[in-house]
Each structure stands twice: as C-alpha cells, then as structure tokens.
A and B are shown apart, each in its own frame.
Chain A
Amino acid sequence: MSIRLLKNSVSRRALLSTRLYHPNPIEYANSTVVAPLTYTMDSPQSRILTHCLQNEVPHWGFTERALLKSIQAVGYDSSMMSVLGASNSPSIFHSSPAVMELVKFNLVKKRHALTESLAAAGLGSPAALPSLEHLLVKRLQMDVPLSKQLGDLFTQLALPSQFMVNVAVPELFRLSDDMIYFSNEKDHFDTAWYSKRLGVSLAYTTSKLFMAQDNSLNCQDTIEFARDKLHRIMTLGEYYNNVEEYAWYSIMTTVNRAKAGFSRH
C-alpha cells in the first residue's frame, strides 16, 4: 500500500512538474494505433507495408508492383491490395489508393520511430533530449536506402490532390513539430511557434530534394547540407529576435524621454 502511495506521489510530481506529452503516458494507456494510420503495427497491413518498404521499394519504388511482391512474400492473396488502400479515396490524377497507403505508412512509421524511445527520456528532464540537428540528421538517414526513389516519392506527395492536403502537408507539420518538441530546442508561445516549425520543415524538405540527386557515399553531402541549412535558419531567427529587442528598447527609450520632457514643462 505504501509503495503504491509512493508511486502515486512520484507520478503526480512528474505529472505536474515536468514536460509532458498530451495525452501524457503517465496517466493514459498507450493508443493501439499510430494516428493517422487506422491499423495496429502487428496487423496484416503493417506486415505487408513494412516488408515492402524494407525489401521491394528500394528496387521497384513506390509502385503497385512492389506491393504485389510483398503481398505474395508475406503469404496473402493479391486481393489484399484493395484492403491496403481502403482508407484512401481513389483519385484519377493519383496512383492507386494502395500506393498512397504505402507512401503514408512510410512517412508515419519513420516519424514514429524517430521519437518512440524519447518519450520516456523526456519525462525526466528536457536536458536528456537530443538536439534538433541530431533528430533532423537521424530522420534523413532513415531515407538513405530509398535515396534513388525519392524523386518518385516527391511526385506522389506534391501532386495537387486530396492526398497532399490530408496526408502530405499534415505529416510534414507533425514531423517538424515532433522534432522540435522531442529535442532540447526552446519552444515558443507566440508566432515564433509557427515560424520555427516552418523553418524546420523548409530545412527538411530542401535536404530531401538535395538527397534525391546526391551521389556521395551514404549521402554525406546531404547531411552536411542539412546541418548548414538548419544553422542558417536558426541564425536568421536570432537576427529577428535581436532586431525586435532593439526596436522595442528604442520605442521605450523614446517614450520615456518624451514623458520626461513633458513633465519638466
């Protein structure tokens, strides 16, 4: 009983004093799915898509052929293709719904894998979290095996369609939000909240574009490019803060001088 009380008091202290994730893992049971996916990671859909990403996509790209090979390799009937694409609306300008699901799964699974182990570390102290640069590089390195297929992936994501609005753009936002939240980067409560996420999204997207044409060993040039890009964006943020601070200081000084002048007369 006393151990339980002690545990309760410890979790209460952790809950009220440290950085948490909404909904927090201290109080709530883990969700069965990783949103926006609608199936669990041990479902047939996940097994097929994981197999496809690891074994077929590096050779065949994000295509139905790659999916069909994985469906057969995992031991299902080819009609499974329609189950895979069930949560996406068909689009005449886009690939099949199953390919859209493969693209979505690639984005969501890698985003989840990036921060999965960090939630527990972050509960103790934000200082235990890695840097933003580390997370950006780690996410880019996850795509090194697919570097030859990135052009195809970008086409799928950037094609103006419902898929771009509902999946591609929100996933980019979630990724940049996760990278800032699960790193030791300072977060903000004003418009800087938006500009920082926009900057990180920009650094990530341009680095991925660079990676699509990168021929260096293990995409080393891309990693250098990403580090440089992120550093430039953060420096730009510092410039803005300094200018804003100086402008505010100047306004206050002018107002106080004017008030002092008036009070003398």
Chain B
Amino acid sequence: MLAQCNFLKSVPVGVRAFSSLNALRATPKKGTLKAGGNALQESKFEPLSEAQRAYLDRALRVNQAGELGANYIYQGQIFVLSRRHPELRPTLQHMWEQEVFHHDTFNALQIKHRVRPSLLTPFWKVGAVAMGAGTALISPEAAMACTEAVETVIGGHYNEQLRCLDSQFEQRKADGTSGVPEEVQSLTAKVKLFRDQELEHLDTAIKHDSRLAVPYMMITETIKGVCRLAIWGAERI
C-alpha cells in the first residue's frame, strides 16, 4: 500500500512522459502564482495532483462504505441480542452510536468533497445486517468474534490510510514554503480518532469473550476475508 502511495506525487495520471504532444500541454510557468498578483495567492497551496485527488476520493468512498457496514452490523446484532441478552445492550448500543457518528461524518464529507458513493451501497447494507444478525444468532460470543474480526481489518485499513495521508500530501506554496493542507489535516485527525475508537471496540469484543466463540478461527478468518474483499470492492465500484 505504501509503495503504491509513493507514486501519488510523481506520476501525473493520463500523461505519457515520452509523448511528443507533451510540449502542447499547459504547465504552470515559473512564478505564475506570484504573477497572479497578491499575497493571498502566494499563501495558497499548489493544486492537488490528479492521483492525490483520486486517492482522497477513493479513501472517502471506502471509509463511508466501511462505516455504513459497521453501522448495520451493530444494528443486526442489537436486533437479535437485545431481547435474548439484555446485559449486552448498553455495550452494543455505545459501540453502535459511535459507528453511526463515524458514518454520518463520512456521509457529510462525501457530499462536501463531491465524491461518488459506492455503487454497491445496497449490497453493503444487506450484507452487513446479515453478518451482524447471523453471528448474533449463533451466540453472543460469535457476535463478539465478528466485531473483533471486523475491527481488526478496519483498524489495519485506517492505519494504511494514515501512512499515506502523512507521507503523500506535503504541498508546496508559491512563496516557497510547504505544508499539509487543512482539509487533509482535518481528514487525518478524523481517521485517527475513528481508528482509535474502532480499536476500542476490538478490545471490548475480546473482553466479552469473543475468543470463546465456536468455531472461532472459522468465523473470524471468514469475516476478515469478506471485509478485505468488501474494502477492495468499495474502493473501486
């Protein structure tokens, strides 16, 4: 993933470096931004490259789909477990509320930044409810094993994103300085917070005997595989 990130700044997408037509392509001349006139222009960052924009679009889309999935998984679990095991209700409710907040945050960011949502959104909804309710029907431990598997994959996914956001979005300004744009800083802070909360959910699941689920390995490894496949799909479709 990190190796893929390293291309973000160096490869202009859609431009063949060897093309004889390259000379016709408009490129910012030296001092263009300064010539634009004022201190305000000088203090602005150079525009994001096409690859950087594509990465942000993809990151927001997959995060939105992932949080939608988490939201509906907890919804399915609560639907099944709240009557059979009311003692688990406050714990599940707390985790669900945090997922709803994450989902709402990425919904707002998707609209704000003109990112298309995943075309497979209805399938993510149905699949997530089925996953949450299905594991809860097996046992409360199986539901917690599901939470553990999902949060493990999501935590790793957020960590990969943070590495990329930290290393690939240092933008230059016309006055010669450089820095990370505030919208990227803001996104990084949100991803960090959500990553920490997801890992709290992982700890909560382990504390509630997720590892006693039978068959533990089969449940967790299958769900991890499904989550990785869903991440791959939501990034692209």
Contact = CB atoms under 8 A, between A and B. Distances in A.
Nearest to A177: B114
Most buried by B among A24, A38, A87: A38
Contacts of A86: 21, 24
Contact of B48 (A28, A83, A259): A28
A16 interface: yes
Contacts of B53: 22-23
B36 interface: yes
Nearest to B48: A23
Interface stretch (B115-123, B215-223, B227-235): B115-123
B45 A27 contact: yes
Contact of B47 (A12, A31, A43, A194): A31
B45 A33 contact: no
B23 to A, nearest CB: 10
Contacts of A191: 117, 119, 121-122
Given A27-B181, A29-B33, A39 B26 contact: yes
Contacts of A87: 21, 24
A191 B117 CA distance: 8
Interface string B22-34: 0011111000110
B73 to A, nearest CB: 17
Contacts of B186: 15-16
A249 interface: no
Contacts of A224: none
- Size band of the A side of the interface? 20 to 34
B110 A194 contact: no
B46 A29 contact: yes
Contact of A20 (B25, B28, B112): B112
Contacts of B48: 23, 28
A24 B183 contact: yes
A43 B25 CA distance: 11
B113 A32 contact: no
Interface residues of B, number: 38
Contacts of B24: 38-39, 83, 86-87
B111 interface: yes
A15 B185 CA distance: 12
Given A20-B112, A38-B24, A190 B33 contact: no
A23 B26 contact: no
Interface in A10-27: 12, 15-16, 19-24, 27
B64 to A, nearest CB: 7
A33 to B, nearest CB: 5
A24 B111 CA distance: 13
B41 interface: yes
Nearest to A37: B26
Contacts of A29: 33, 36, 41, 44-47, 174
B56 interface: yes
Contacts of A38: 24-26
Contacts of A189: 64, 107, 110-111, 117
A181 interface: yes
A31 B48 CA distance: 9
Nearest to B184: A27
Interface string A35-52: 000111001000000000
Contact of A40 (B26, B46, B112): B26
Interface of A: 12, 15-16, 19-24, 27-33, 38-40, 43, 83, 86-87, 177, 181, 187-191, 193-194, 259
Interface of B: 21, 24-28, 32-33, 36, 41, 44-48, 53, 56-57, 64, 83, 107, 110-117, 119, 121-122, 171, 174, 181-183, 186
19 contacts: A15-B183, A16-B182, A19-B112, A22-B53, A22-B57, A23-B48, A28-B45, A28-B47, A28-B171, A29-B47, A30-B47, A31-B47, A38-B24, A39-B25, A39-B26, A43-B26, A86-B21, A187-B111, A190-B117
Given A12-B182, A86-B21, A259-B83, 11 more contacts: A22-B112, A22-B113, A22-B115, A28-B44, A29-B41, A29-B47, A30-B47, A33-B26, A39-B24, A190-B121, A194-B116
